[in-house]
Amino acid sequence: MRCLCRDALPGASTRSGTTHVAYIVNEETFVTGPSHRLMAASGAILFGASPVEAAVAVLGGTLPDRIEKVGLPHRGVSHWPWPWALAVWSLWSQQTQWGILAGWWFAGALFHIGADLFTVGGVPLLLPNWRWRLGVIHNGSYGEYITVAFFILAAIMRFFHLQIVSVAGL
């Protein structure tokens, strides 16, 4: 556990007498920012994005965590995939270059949420206050690194049209 402290909020004090508010965050329940960016890039390439579109997805790969800065709880409504999916669908359906790029930006957020689905913290999948978990990955664990490496390898293979096994008709 680590304490993330914010000064400048009067009235809150600790045992040491300093004035601040403490937010306790369990480091083992969420994937790191670099992993989110790598998963966003890999996911975009796996879904057929161009290098520019994949770069835009990387920029959106930390959106769910960044919008929590306004005071939303971690992995609450910001990690609910349906508003993000609606944004992606509505932007891609415009069939304009800016709409497609903005859609990839929001798709990066969906890849972020998909990565968090594999952690012990989970994400709210059906309802914004009910979390689902598909794995037991901890921040900084071998599980996180192996999962990210797997998706990077799959994206590289997709990008360079490499196949491990030859499949008839593909």
Q: What is the pLDDT of residues 36-55, one digit of tens each?
A: 999 999 999 999 999 999 99
pTM of the model as a whole: 0.75
CB 129 within 8 A of CB 76: yes
DSSP track, 8-67: S-TT-B-TT--B-EEEEE-GGGS--HHHHHHHHHHHHHHTT--HHHHHHHHHHTTHHHHG
Q: For 85-120, how does the pLDDT look when each residue is reduced to its tens digit (9 = 90+)?
A: 999 999 999 999 999 999 999 999 999 999 998 888
Q: Which phi and psi angles does 59 have, rounded to 5°?
A: -65, -30
**In the chain, what are the domain boundaries?**
1-27, 31-159
pLDDT digits (tens, 9 = 90+) for 113-164: 999 988 888 899 888 888 888 878 887 889 899 999 999 999 999 999 887 7
Asked if pLDDT for residue 60 goes beyond 70, the answer is yes
**CA–CA distance, 19 with 26 (Å, rounded to integer):** 22
CA 11, CA 128: separation in Å to the nearest integer?
Answer: 32
- What is d(CA 115, CA 16) in angstroms, rounded to the nearest whole number? 38
